[in-house]
């Protein structure tokens, strides 16, 4: 037996985040995490697929087109999970019955709903329930041990705890943000081998997060793959560009960061590059091309400074 779960909401898709194994949709008061195969069904019936969030296969451009559009709610039943969009489009994930490949975070209600587990009522195992009852009602309560917690044993545990040495962590090292500033006409190169973790797309910008580096592309940028092919430039405002090429780089290692008068470039070990396009955007001519944060090499917890640096303004290139 299964049941149907439905919620009515009216929230706009503010941004989505892509990493290996998960795509997160943020609707403000509602978040949806997708861990498995998913379909984007447009109002005209055209179906685009996310084939594998683990292998980075699918049409992210279809996801990008949902930005700024509002959901009307979602439905979970034995057949599928369906998130409905007000104009008739739909995000659909068919039931695989293997694991929870969709999770809905409802801040209004303060809890998480996993699909498909939520549609199958839980029936307690009578044997396990009886074993738990006997343990609770036994002669002595038990704590993570088959030994009965007698008064004498409890006294010994308390005494041992009182004698235990309390670990005091070392004080954190002072945080000194790394500031990168160049001279006119010179190239700036930072060697930094770290993993590309994820990227976030909202209606205006794309943010790339690499361990130790966060870069926010305020204008269009492009991906050059390891074979030297230049993919269609990505522009979040226009909902255009080859986001799949960017997705293919997640989990690869960055080799260095380069900046000069031509562009801001994140270079990877396999030869691929993410680079800014050095042109004036007439929509926001005063907006910097890239805002970026660099964690100092000696900062053990990889903390980012509060304020970003900018390309090209404070680099004098």
pLDDT, one tens digit per residue, over 277-298 is: 876 554 555 678 899 988 876 5
Tokens of 181: 């500033």
Same domain, yes or no: 159 and 209: no
CA distance to 44, 66, 69, 105, 195, per residue, from 41 (Å): 8, 11, 14, 22, 33
With respect to residue 278, please indicate whether it lies within any of the assigned structural domains: yes
Q: Model confidence over 36-88: pLDDT tens digits? A: 889 999 999 999 999 989 899 999 999 999 999 999 999 999 999 999 999 99
- Domain shared by 203 and 133, yes or no: no
Residues 195 and 303 grouped into a single domain: yes
Q: Is residue 93 in a domain? A: yes
Does 158 share its domain with 59?
A: no
Give the pTM. 0.76
Same domain, 201 and 309: yes
Q: pLDDT at position 32, please?
A: 93
How many domains, the chain?
3
CA–CA dist 203, 282 (Å, integer): 17
Same-domain status, 245 and 302? yes
Q: Which neighbouring-strand residues pair with 259?
A: 188, 264
Q: Is residue 271 assigned to a domain?
A: yes
Question: 73: left (phi > 0), else alpha (psi -120 to 50), else beta?
Answer: left
| Within-domain flag for 176 | no
Residues 134 and 113 in one domain: no
Query: Domain residues for 113?
Result: 5-119
Helices assigned H by DSSP within 241-296: 243-247
Whether 92 is covered by a domain: the verdict is yes
Q: Is residue 295 part of a domain?
A: yes
Question: In tens digits, what is the pLDDT along the chain, a chain of 317 residues?
Answer: 578 988 898 899 999 999 999 999 999 889 999 998 899 999 999 999 999 898 999 999 999 999 999 999 999 999 999 999 999 999 999 988 777 889 998 876 567 888 888 888 776 677 777 777 776 666 555 555 555 667 777 788 778 877 777 767 666 555 555 666 666 556 677 776 688 999 999 999 999 999 888 999 998 999 999 999 999 999 998 999 999 999 999 999 998 888 888 889 999 999 999 999 876 554 555 678 899 988 876 555 557 778 888 888 766 54
* Percent composition of the chain: helix, strand, coil (DSSP 3-state, to 5): 15, 35, 50
- Going by their DSSP bridges, the two strands 206-210 and 188-201 should be labelled as antiparallel
Yes or no: say if 96 and 36 are a contact pair by the CB < 8 Å rule: yes
């Amino acid at each position: 037996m299964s049941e149907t779960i439905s919620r009515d909401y009216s929230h706009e898709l503010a941004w989505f985040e892509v990493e290996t194994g998960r795509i997160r949709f943020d609707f403000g008061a509602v978040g949806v995490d997708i861990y498995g195969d998913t379909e984007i069904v447009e109002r005209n019936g055209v179906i685009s697929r996310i084939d594998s969030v683990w292998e980075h296969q699918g049409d992210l451009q279809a996801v990008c087109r949902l930005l700024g559009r509002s959901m009307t709610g979602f439905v979970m039943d034995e057949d599928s999970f369906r998130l409905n969009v007000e104009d008739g489009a739909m995000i659909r994930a068919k039931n695989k019955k293997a694991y929870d490949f969709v999770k809905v975070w409802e801040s209004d209600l303060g809890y998480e709903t996993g699909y498909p587990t939520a549609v199958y009522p839980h029936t307690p195992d009578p044997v396990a329930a009886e074993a738990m009852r006997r343990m609770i009602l036994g002669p002595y309560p038990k704590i993570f041990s088959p030994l009965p917690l007698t008064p004498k044993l409890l006294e010994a545990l308390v005494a041992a705890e009182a004698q235990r040495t309390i670990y005091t962590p070392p004080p954190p090292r002072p945080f000194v943000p790394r500031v990168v500033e160049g001279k006119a006409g010179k190239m700036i190169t930072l060697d930094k081998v770290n993993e590309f973790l994820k990227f976030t797309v909202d209606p205006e910008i794309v943010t790339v997060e690499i361990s130790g580096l966060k870069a926010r592309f305020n204008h269009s940028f492009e991906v050059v793959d390891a074979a030297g092919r230049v993919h269609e430039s990505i522009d979040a405002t226009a909902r255009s560009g080859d986001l799949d090429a960017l997705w293919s780089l997640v989990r690869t290692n960055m080799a260095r960061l380069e900046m000069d008068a031509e562009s801001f470039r994140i270079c990877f070990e396999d030869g691929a590059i993410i680079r800014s396009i050095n042109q004036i955007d007439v929509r926001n001519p005063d907006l910097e091309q890239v805002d970026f944060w660099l964690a100092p090499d000696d900062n053990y917890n990889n903390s980012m400074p509060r304020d970003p640096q900018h390309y090209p303004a404070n680099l004098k290139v």
